[in-house]
Amino acid sequence: MTVSALCRSGIGNIILIDLDDICISNTNRQIHATSKTIGKLKIDQMKERLTDINPTCNITLIHDFVTVDNAYAMVEKMKPDVDIILDAIDGSNEKVALIVAACVHNISILTSGGAAGRIDPTQIVCDDLTKSKHCRLLHLCKHRLRDEYKLFSKGPPTGNIKSFRVRKWHIPAVFSSEQQNNFSGNDDNTSSLRRCDGALGTACFVTGTYGFVAASKVVSMIANNELKKPRALQSSVRIIKQMHEQTGVSN
């Protein structure tokens, strides 16, 4: 829904990254998933659909998964041509790796939280990542960005919590303030490479709203020249960058 909305809103250059194929379980929420497209590659089908919407839109396909090992190099390669990254990864490991890469390469990024287990689309909002709540996926990401990568400060240096204001990270996040309903036990969202029939269900009117809210924010940021870069701690950015330059490791 997000990419379709961006294309219909006049975004002229779009890069799609994925290596997943359409599964029958996708038909309840993904616009390119039909009985005729099951088994076909998702981004191939999306390019065909977007081209039908706007033949002049430049669609670039990268047939690969974003992983912990390739996120940094992938973003580095795209950096000259990308204004903003829209992250819709559903695994915290890969999501964190992509956000870290955007921070280090100083590229605007919008991230999306988990939609599974929610039924009320009216509670979906877009705010700074520091403001996200009731989303385990984003909670895990914030924890790792602060504590593991040290890209953002933890809290008041003096311990004066009452007068302390959390400094925005300048990473917009789409999330729901609705409490997550878990009908089938715990859902492991540390990796995006999960089985199709996860423990938590999803509803098209919820996932679609996530997508439209994300697209709305991206269009607004571009139209109003508000593509703010992540406000990461430069000391940590330099350490991560030097680590990659010297050893080529991913974290």
Q: What pLDDT digit, counting tens, does each position of 30-40 carry?
A: 778 778 878 98
How, if at all, do strands 172-176 and 124-128 pair? antiparallel
Model-wide pTM > 0.85: yes
Q: Does residue 185 surpass a pLDDT of 70?
A: no
pLDDT of residue 27: 73
Q: How far apart are CA 190 and CA 59, in angstroms?
A: 30
Q: Is the pLDDT of residue 115 over 60?
A: yes
Q: How many CB atoms lie within 10 A of CB 217?
A: 19
Report how far residue 220's alpha carbon sits from residue 226's, in angstroms, rounded to the nearest whole number.
8
Handedness of CA 235, 236, 241, 246 (dihedral sign): positive
Residues in the chain: 251
- β-bridge partners, 16: 61
Tens digit of pLDDT for each residue in 202-212? Answer: 889 999 999 99
Task: State the amino acid at position 139 in one-letter form.
Answer: H
Strand-by-strand arrangement of the 172-176 sheet: 84-87, 108-112, 172-176, 124-128
For domain 70-247, the question of CATH label 2.60.120.260 is answered with no
Instruction: Kindly state the average pLDDT of the residues 59-84.
Output: 96
Portion of the chain with pLDDT greater than 90, in percent: 72
Mean pLDDT lowest for which of 11-25, 163-177, 215-229?
Answer: 163-177
Task: Report the distance separating Cα 86 and Cα 108, nearest Å.
Answer: 9
The pLDDT of residue 29 is above 80:
no
Question: Residue 31's pLDDT is what?
Answer: 79
Question: CATH 3.40.50.720 occupies which residues in the chain?
Answer: 70-247
